[in-house]
Structure 1
Amino acid sequence: MRRTRNRAMTRVATAVLSTALILTGCSHPSHTSHPSHTAHPGSTQAADGPAPTAPHARHIVLKGAVNVRDLGGYPTSDGKQLRYGVVFRGDALGKLTPDDLSVASKLGLKSVVDFRLPLEIRTDGADRLPKGASAIPLPIDDTGLYERTTAAIGSRDPAVQQKALGDGKGAATMRRIYRTFVTEAGARHQFARVLDTIADGKELPLLFHCTSGKDRTGWMSYVLLRAVGVPARTAEADYLLSNDIRKTADEKTREGLKKAGIMRDPQLIVPLQEVRKDYLGAALTEADHRYGSFDAYLSKGLGLDAGTLHTLRTRLLK
């Protein structure tokens, strides 16, 4: 009985860490999307499908994944627009249902980039991919976040949890993680590989994801949008949209932790569950500090030459 209870505790604690960028935001067999979100026909049509009428229209509603979206439709500063049905962002796909796979098959995906670490995949499960899609593993290091947070939450000790996550420590941890997206050579290499793969065009349509689809995926989406000329404010809005889309699932995770007696104060994990302007700002400030500007980060930090950037824009814009 004790072993069963310990395994259950571990599963719930593990579920929480997803929201911190490591594990899935909800460990149940299926996720629940925000009730107002509906898939727009343009999300599953060809590259030149109709433009959505609202940001949520890009959201592809699935039972086994919360935060899957089409990046199409965003306008650039020079009056162009991202094509639909070419690049998608998402969270972990390991719990897709048969109906989900049917929906995903209509996207025509050729490749799915997975930023998760091997430990995340072992815990949450390998992606379930629609026919015709190949996996491209590009793990990005979490700097030990998983082990530290698991230990704190799994302890069931409010004092330990407060010490690890309280008094602004959760948010500080997230800002530190975002800075590593810029400072760590391994992270820069993986982000650059995604952009190179998109520019090459052979693996399109492509979806990239991490576990919750908000941090590694959020930075990748922001970088891609800015690289093709989408204004910074628009790219930021796409980044922040994860809070709205993940809201219901994240609330259920906190409720579950409290009911299970694992956390007395599950609000401690809110900074890990959310995306915030200052998290994004930490990465952008680091890019400016190290490279002088965002454009210099693209060229010097990610090694993207003018030809690759031109091809990327030609491939994605109409």
Structure 2
Amino acid sequence: MQRWIELEGVVNMRDLGGLPTSDGREVQPRRLIRSDNLQDLSPGSVAHLVDELRVTDVVDLRSNIEHEVTGEGPLRSSGLRHHHHSLIIEDADQRRTVEAALAFSFEDDEQPRAKPVRDADFWSRHYTGYITTRPDSLVAALDVISRSAGGTIVHCAAGKDRTGTVVALALDVAGVPQEEIVADYVLSAERIEAIIGRLVDVEPYRRTLPSHTIDEQRPRAEAMTGVLGWVRREHGDTAGWLRAQGWTAQDVERLRSRLVD
């Protein structure tokens, strides 16, 4: 099936439906959709998502800074349920104002410092950091997917890193083989120039993106392989990780069933 969803206002939206599972089933279409930032959706795009694809829930993984600076977006007035679950550790401190967080995050941008090498190992550690520092938000995002009456859109800014981590964990619970999960993650590389082009001049991304090359942002298979490998070494699989966070076997089955039944 056609995975890409071509709509005005996004460049990295696709349906996870059609991915095979290890037991011979497949992820059902219109259950889980991944995307880049939804702020530029046209009225026609909103209508398509709501009326044609039957989306009922949106999981917004952007930070408090992004959420405040870029605004609510056109889907907010469409009647969908919105769930904001930042994966940034600083956002766990709800006492910090957006203004203070923005200043803290970028105050030393002009100071000379060693620039990290943003290779596959860097991104793998980065994604694993979401799991170890914000398990609350990851669990909450997966819970939304499991309880949605219709389709769920999971998005961040680019739709590849934070979104990629949540989607990978969801697909792992559904029983999608690792190579298929990794292949889906890497698909965002096909749109990387367009993804960065949407964000590079937009606040707050313009503060850091111009200093990163396209190649540094390009998804590589080894990055997601490393994350899934960490989950398996530490917990057996994502279901084991979820049980360590307090989920029951019934909770895990609810997520699996929502995606494949």
Shared fold by TM > 0.5?
A: yes
Instruction: Give, as a single letter, the amino acid of the residue that structure 2 aligns with 1:218.
Output: G
Residue among 238, 241, 256 paired with 1:297: 241
Determine if the alignment matches structure 1 residue 228 to structure 2 residue 174. yes
Corresponding residue to 1:312 among 230, 255, 258: 255
Say whether the 8 Å CA contact 2:34–2:153 is kept in structure 1: yes
Q: Deviations over 1:258-307 (max 9, x none)?
A: xxxx99xx68433552222333244334324533554422322x433221
TM-score where L is the length of structure 2: 0.79
Percent of residue pairs bearing the same amino acid type: 27
CA shift digits 1:156-210 (9 cap, x unpaired): x9xx4xx4436x25766534321212211xx2122212222232344x3211111
Question: Are residue 62 (structure 1) and residue 7 (structure 2) matched?
Answer: yes
Q: Specify which of 116, 125, 128 is matched with residue 179 of structure 1.
A: 128
Deviations 1:58-108 (A, max 9, x none): 111123222111111111111111111122111111111223223323222
Residue in 2 aligned with 1:121? 67
Paired residue for 1:18? Answer: none
Secondary structure at the residue paired with 2:55? coil
Q: Which residue of 2 aligns with 1:212?
A: 158
Q: Give the direction of change, closer, same or farther, for the CA distance of 1:174–1:81 in structure 2 (3 Å limit).
A: closer
Structure 1 contact 92–213 (Cα < 8 Å) conserved: yes
Number of equivalences: 246
* Cα displacement (A) at 1:249: 3.8
- Partner SS state of residue 254, structure 2: helix
Q: Work out whether 1:237 is the aligned partner of 2:183.
A: yes
The yes-or-no answer on 1:194 pairing with 2:137 is no
5+ long unaligned stretches in structure 2: 92-100, 202-206
Preserved CA contact (<8 Å) 1:228 1:312: yes
- Cα separation, 1, equivalents of 2:222 and 2:73: 31
Measure the CA separation in 2 of the matches of 1:135 and 1:63. 21
Indicate yes or no: 2:88 matched with 1:141: yes
Q: Describe the SS at the equivalent of 2:153.
A: strand
Runs of 4+ in 1 over 4 A off after TM superposition: 142-153, 169-173, 251-254, 292-295
Question: Which of 101, 105, 111 is residue 57 of structure 2 equivalent to?
Answer: 111
Q: In 2, distance between residues paired with 1:175 and 1:65?
A: 25
Q: Could you tell me how far apart the structure 2 residues matched to 1:296 and 1:276 are?
A: 26
Letter in 1 for 2:130: F
> Compared with structure 1, are the counterparts of its residues 177 and 252 closer, same or farther at alpha carbon in structure 2 (3 Å cutoff)?
same
TM-align CA RMSD:
3.3
Which of 267, 270, 278 is the aligned partner of 2:214? 270
Match status 1:165 vs 2:108: no
Equivalence for 1:7: none
1:87 is matched with which residue? Answer: 32
Q: 1:150 to 1:281 in 2, by over 3 A?
A: farther
Please name the residue that 2:231 is paired with: 287
**So what's the TM-score if we normalise by structure 1?**
0.66
Alpha-carbon separation, structure 2, partners of 1:150 and 1:62: 33
5+ unaligned residues in a row in structure 1: which ranges? 1-51, 257-261
- Tell me if structure 1 keeps the 8 A contact 2:34–2:167: yes
Shift of 1:120: 0.8
